[in-house]
Amino acid sequence: MGSRDTPELVAYPLPQASSSYMHGGNPSGSVVMVSGLHQLKMNCSRVFNLFCLYGNIEKVKFMKTIPGTALVEMGDEYAVERAVTHLNNVKLFGKRLNVCVSKQHSVVPSQIFELEDGTSSYKDFAMSKNNRFTSAGQASKNIIQPPSCVLHYYNVPLCVTEETFTKLCNDHEVLTFIKYKVFDAKPSAKTLSGLLEWECKTDAVEALTALNHYQIRVPRFYFLKEQ
């Protein structure tokens, strides 16, 4: 689910493809430091879910010495600039994020520990298929804009309904949307897309952080019925 439905689109240079893919290196200023992360509700994957909207994510590491703080190595300095511009001071799970450029030039997997939810404090996303800026062509399709109360969902199985989304929100302990819309699909379509609207921007950002890239299991009987 990506936040792509606000009228105020922000003019930016064309999103760059990740320099680590294109040039094999890490430019200066490609790491952001994020503080104000909820220690019980945030982990590496959820940080990725939010920051991947503004550039490729290489690595995420929570800092053991500073609780609620993480380093995020992004694909290039342009991605860092977009993340700082749009996510600094955003409220998330009752805390306000502080996003700034880190003095570090890369994220080193040291002092790894277990987060409150049992997951690792470090994760490498360099080869993740969910990165959206891996080529110039793919990067040019991304709409860069601030978080909003409306999220765009896509790549959703045909059997998914409004009730499915409501259950996902409840299961992941985020507030439920107030409006639901599904786009008309072509007869040959294998997935659905549409819009979900929340009461406020904060609720939508929390839902995106928890549900982005969630894998929906499709019942086997659904495939049998379609054959």
pLDDT (tens digit per residue) in 151-181? 999 999 999 999 999 999 999 999 999 999 9
Q: Is 114 helix (H, G, I), strand (E, B) or coil?
A: strand
In a domain, 10, yes or no: no
> Phi, psi (5° rounding) for residue 208?
-65, -45
CATH of the domain at 81: 3.30.70.330
Please give the tally of structural domains in the chain: 2
Residue percentage of the chain with pLDDT more than 70: 84
pLDDT (tens digit per residue) in 122-142? 999 999 999 999 888 888 888
Is the pLDDT confidence value at 8 over 80? no
In a domain, 111, yes or no: yes
Is the pLDDT confidence value at 149 over 80? yes
Question: Do 184 and 119 have their domain in common?
Answer: no
Residue 50 belongs to domain spanning: 31-128
Rounded Cα distance between 73 and 102, Å, is: 9
Question: Do 117 and 154 have their domain in common?
Answer: no
Helices and strands (DSSP H and E) totals, the chain: 7, 10
Is the pLDDT confidence value at 25 over 50? no
Decide: 158 and 189 in contact? Cβ < 8 Å.
Answer: yes
pTM of this prediction exceeds 0.75: yes
At 220 the pLDDT is: 63
Rounded Cα distance between 1 and 213, Å, is: 7
At 15 the pLDDT is: 45
pLDDT (tens digit per residue) in 86-129? 999 999 999 999 999 999 999 999 999 999 999 999 999 999 99
Q: Is 57 helix (H, G, I), strand (E, B) or coil?
A: strand
In a domain, 12, yes or no: no
Pick the more confident residue, 139 or 50: 50
In a domain, 121, yes or no: yes
What amino acid is encoded at 80 in this protein?
V
At 26 the pLDDT is: 41
Query: Mean pLDDT, the chain, as a whole number?
Result: 87
Question: Do 156 and 121 have their domain in common?
Answer: no
